[in-house]
Every structure is written in structure tokens, then in C-alpha cells.
Amino acid sequence: MIAARSGDVRVRSVECVVRALLRSDLRCDAGTRVVRRAPRGPIVHTPLRGTTKRANATRFPGPLRGYALHMHSKSERAPEDDAPVTTPRQALLGALAASVIIGNFVPFGSIALYPFTLMATWVHEMGHGIAALAVGGAFERLDVFADASGLAHTRYQPGARGGVVAIAGMLAPPLIGAITLGFARGPRRARIALAVLSLAMLASCVSWVRSIAGWIAVPLVALALGAFARWGSPRERMICAQFVGLRLAVDTVTRIDYAFTSEAVIDGVRRTSDVAAITASWGAILPVWSLVIALTSFALVALGLWAAWRAPKRAKDQR
């Protein structure tokens, strides 16, 4: 019997083993079978009787007569199990439709979307925390509050590093949203994006999240994304990943007014805004940095939407 899987031809009968040992291009595997590595493409076996003969078929003599190895070209390969059943554009439109319908026409739809608003807050505060670690500081805890505000407790040396930490949080939601939109253009990539986000959120709950609202919303969204990554169909994974990127983009646009304020109310307490912290660290005046952050955020959102909308140039983009 001949079995082929992932480019290997496995010969299991004793007579085939003897024949294979006389061939220089075959090798023994585990002492019980002989494996031949194909030079290219997947290898399958089909009976010659009753089928159309192929020019690139390799036939076997003796007891293997009636079987052949067919070297398929890339165009002849069977689609993978997770081959895309929808295009990136369709996934983006599906995510947009889901966001609009849930938010405007589904009863309590705004409540259903609210955890994703808190997810955007989590991304913002994680940007502060990761930047603090990157500049040699410390990331102590992360608070996400029910009013969608948040606070990252960090320690770092005063000076220019404060501006790095502040601007990292401001640009984190549009940056992660753009990366998700542009990367998750196929079911395999969508699964990777959803799994990475889910694992990052769960890990942050263990390491940094310390607020009640954060303990509720962050694991809830993480488990939902993980469920889509594990059990969702190819279409569902793509739409879900695009939905996450789209919600981060929407949050960037709807809360862009924060970039033009010198103070912000966080859990009922008035604090210095991130833009004011950037101005204090890097100089200039607040409107200049507000405009820079706003334009950069919009550019990242536009880049992500373009990357998700553009037609795929290669089959690799659809995986």
C-alpha cells in the first residue's frame, strides 16, 4: 500500500521496503517504512486503471503496478481547509455592517459593544505601560474604569522619556487597529491576530489589570476573541478580526477630542492629559502636538482601511 501525506510517500509492505532499499533516493524511517522526499509539491497516489494518465506520473513496477505518483503544480493543488471563503473587502464590509446594526438596530446593542470600547481603553493604557518598560521604567498596574477612562501606573526617569510614554498610549489604538485591519486579510492570519490579542489580554489580567471593570471586560473580550480564533469558521474569523480593527479605528475617531485637551477626568478625578504631558516633556505648545497626534491617528486609520480594502495581489494575502 502507498500512502502520501504532506509531500511524503510511505511504503509499508515488506516487498516495497526491499525494493526501496535498492534505490538511492529513498531512506528508511523508524525501521519499518521507507520515505521518499518529493522534490516539489504535494504527492498523491491514484490507480491508473480507469483514470486519465498524466505526463508527470511516476509508475511503480511489480506489486505496485496500477499506481502512480502525480506531481501537482501549484495551480492544481487542492485548497486548504482554511482557504478563504470571503474576500478581505467582504470581511471589512461585513464587520462594518455588524457594527452599525448592533449599535443602532439591536436592542441593548450599545451595551453589547461597550466591552470593545473598554478594550480600546485597555489598548491605550497598555501603550503607556509597554512604552514605560521600553524606556527602562516600570509598569506597575493598569486600571480600566466603567466610564471608559483608564490609568496606567508607570515609573520612569523624568524628561523626554515622559513624552515617549505619553504619545505611545495616544497612538496605540489607531496603530493596533491599522495592523489588525491590514494583517487579517485571510482566515489563517485572522486566527493569528485574534489569538495574539486574546492571549495578550489574558496575560495582562494576570500581570497588570487591577480594576473591577477591567477584570470583567478584558477577560470577556479575550475569551470571545479566543473562541472565534478556535472555533469560528474562516468567514467568521475574518469578519471578527476586521470588526476588532474597525472598533479601534472608530474609537480613535470618536474620542479624538481628547487630543485637544490639557486635562481629563479619569474615574472622577481631574488629571493632566497625555498631550499636556507630551508638551511638558518635549516642548512646543499644546495645539501643535494635538494636531500632530490627530493627523497621525487619522493617517493610521486610513492606512489600515486601505490595507484591508485593497485587492489581494498574491494568494499569500488571502491565507
What global pTM score does this model have? 0.73
Lowest average pLDDT, out of 104-113, 189-198, 200-209, 223-232, goes to: 104-113
Summarised one tens digit per residue, pLDDT across range 132-180 is: 999 999 999 999 999 999 999 999 998 999 999 999 999 999 999 999 9
- Check whether residue 120 and residue 241 sit in a common domain: yes
Residue 82 lies in a domain: no
What type of residue is 204? S
Instruction: Catalogue the E-assigned strands of the chain.
Output: 2-5, 8-11, 27-29, 33-37, 43-47, 57-59, 67-71, 138-144, 150-155, 263-266, 269-272
Residue 272 lies in a domain: yes
Q: 93 in a domain, yes or no?
A: yes
For the chain, what is the domain count? 2
120, 268: one domain: yes
User: What is the Cα–Cα distance from 112 to 272, expressed in whole angstroms?
Assistant: 31
Average pLDDT of span 263-272: 92
Place of cell 486635562: 263
Among the candidates 26, 43, 76, a domain finishes at 76
User: Which residues have CB under 8 Å from 139's CB, separation 6+?
Assistant: 129, 130, 132, 133, 152, 153, 154, 208
In this predicted structure, what is the pLDDT of residue 312? 72
Closest among 175, 186, 181 to 313, alpha carbons compared: 186
- Tell me if 263 is assigned to some domain: yes
Q: Are residues 185 and 222 in the same domain?
A: yes
pLDDT over 60 at 237, yes or no: yes
Integer Cα distance of 11 and 21 in angstroms = 11
Together in a domain, 233 and 113: yes
pLDDT of residue 197: 98
Counting residues of the chain whose pLDDT is more than 90, the rounded percentage is 67
Residue tagged 493627523 (cell numbers): 295
Position with higher pLDDT, 50 vs 162: 162
Q: What is the rounded CA–CA span in Å between residue 137 and residue 151?
A: 16
Is pLDDT at 94 greater than 60 in this prediction?
yes
Q: Which residues constitute the domain of residue 248?
A: 88-318
